[in-house]
A = this chain, B = another copy of it.
Amino acid sequence: MALRVCVTGAAGQIAYSLLYSIAKGDVFGADQQLELLLLDIPPMMAVVEGVKMELSDCSLPLLKDVVATADYKEAFLNADVAILVGAMPRRQGMERKDLLKANAKIFEGQGKAINDYAKKTIKVLVVGNPANTNCLITKTCAPSIPAANFSCLTRLDQNRAQYQVANRVGVPCDKVRNVIIWGNHSATQFPDVSQAVVVTNERTPVYAAVKDDAWLKGDFISTIQTRGAAVIAARKLSSAMSAAKAIGDHMRDWWFGTQPDEWVSMGVFSDGSYGIPEGLIYSYPVKISGKEWSIVQGMEISDFAREKMDATAKELMEEKEAALSFLGQ
């Protein structure tokens, strides 16, 4: 059976990088046939048709069908996976409240369509910003789907943090494991390497490998928090290649599971773990098996970490309150 994968914002730059990776089999496996459902707004349909032509021209054997549509029902019908990339970007002069309101409307509509048309087993990954709160809105508007089936992307932050540490220590990126991104995919996020290790012949804690606590508690954190803006300043366009890579990593791990003794970060529905308020979409370290994630428990939280974890939770509480107030309008 072909897997039905919906990608929204299909005319955009992230989707352009992502769709090829999915269609060639990098995310759901080299034997998994695929039907891609490309959603965007009506003015973008010609571009989406062009993307569809290019996907054809890639001559990919797993790609059974590609549907380009501006209709929610067609996009989410019997979908196994939804990757919600499209969102209203912040425009010059737009208040934060206006941004939350515009996005609440988009994700309310998509949540309802997922509720009504998608498979009940659908896995939903929200990428469009504010990703955590957009994910919460989507989940709230799709009550027939288990809360565990909704997540938002913080893997890009994790990948960025892995690179920064690997580059500092002088090892390949895959030798740095168990970096944690806590909280909101925003400038308040807390990239935490207190549990992370550098795996060579032995497992060395990152703090011992880097030997520069001031950097790890200072510039390292702010580099990750502001990396998106730094990429925009250089490219004059926001991250697309690296976002698509992270989306692929997130979904592949959700699909196939994590390695023993390793975890990854995902924004998931909080059960109150680590003193974070229940009912937020908060980025936690998770292990995944059988397509089910579970929050890694029992880690010691320092005062330094506590403060940062609470600050990003506070921001999410405020976003939640504002966004929920816009529902049904």
User: In the complex, which residue of chain B has the Cβ closest to the Cβ of A155?
Assistant: B59
User: In the complex, which residue of chain B has the Cβ closest to the Cβ of A174?
Assistant: B61
Is there contact, CB below 8 Å, between A53 and B167? no
Is there contact, CB below 8 Å, between B235 and A20? no
Alpha-carbon distance A251/B172, docked complex (angstroms): 25
Is there contact, CB below 8 Å, between B51 and A235? yes
Is there contact, CB below 8 Å, between A239 and B56? no
- Interface-side segment among A80-88, A99-107, A146-154, A157-165: A157-165
Alpha-carbon distance A62/B156, docked complex (angstroms): 18
Is there contact, CB below 8 Å, between A241 and B16? yes
Contact of A20 among B46, B64, B156, B241 (CB under 8 A): B241
Is there contact, CB below 8 Å, between A59 and B234? no
Is there contact, CB below 8 Å, between B57 and A163? yes
Interface positions of A from 42 to 62, Cβ below 8 Å from B: 46-47, 49-51, 53-62
Is there contact, CB below 8 Å, between A59 and B235? no
User: In the complex, which residue of chain B has the Cβ closest to the Cβ of A179?
Assistant: B59
Alpha-carbon distance A239/B50, docked complex (angstroms): 9
A120 near B: Cβ within 8 Å? Answer: no
Interfacial chain B residues near A24, Cβ < 8 Å? 245
Residues 56-80 of chain A: 1 if any B CB is under 8 Å from the residue's CB, otherwise 0? 1111111110000000000000000
Residues 210-252 of chain A: 1 if any B CB is under 8 Å from the residue's CB, otherwise 0? 0000000000000000010011011111011110110000000
A17 near B: Cβ within 8 Å? Answer: yes
Is there contact, CB below 8 Å, between A54 and B231? yes
Interfacial chain B residues near A173, Cβ < 8 Å? 59-61, 63
Alpha-carbon distance A82/B291, docked complex (angstroms): 42
Is there contact, CB below 8 Å, between A245 and B20? yes
Interface centre among A59, A64, A172, A233 (most CB of B within 10 A): A59
Contact of A230 among B53, B63, B156 (CB under 8 A): B53
Contact of A57 among B17, B46, B63, B242 (CB under 8 A): B242
Alpha-carbon distance A19/B244, docked complex (angstroms): 13
User: In the complex, which residue of chain B has the Cβ closest to the Cβ of A234?
Assistant: B50
Is there contact, CB below 8 Å, between B17 and A59? no
Report A192 CB to chain B, min CB distance, Å. 17
| 17 further A-B pairs in the complex, CB-CB below 8 A; given A50-B236, A56-B167 | A17-B17, A20-B245, A46-B236, A50-B231, A50-B237, A51-B241, A53-B231, A54-B231, A54-B235, A58-B163, A58-B242, A59-B159, A59-B163, A59-B245, A61-B173, A61-B175, A63-B173
Binding site for B on A (CB under 8 A): 16-17, 19-20, 24, 46-47, 49-51, 53-64, 156, 159-160, 162-163, 166-167, 172-175, 227, 230-231, 233-237, 239-242, 244-245
Q: Which 5 A-B pairs have the closest CB atoms?
A: A50-B234, A50-B235, A59-B159, A57-B242, A61-B174
28 contacts between A and B (CB under 8 A): A16-B241, A17-B20, A20-B245, A46-B234, A46-B235, A47-B236, A49-B234, A50-B234, A50-B235, A53-B230, A53-B234, A54-B235, A54-B239, A54-B240, A56-B160, A57-B159, A57-B231, A57-B242, A58-B159, A58-B163, A58-B241, A58-B242, A59-B162, A59-B245, A60-B173, A61-B174, A61-B175, A64-B172
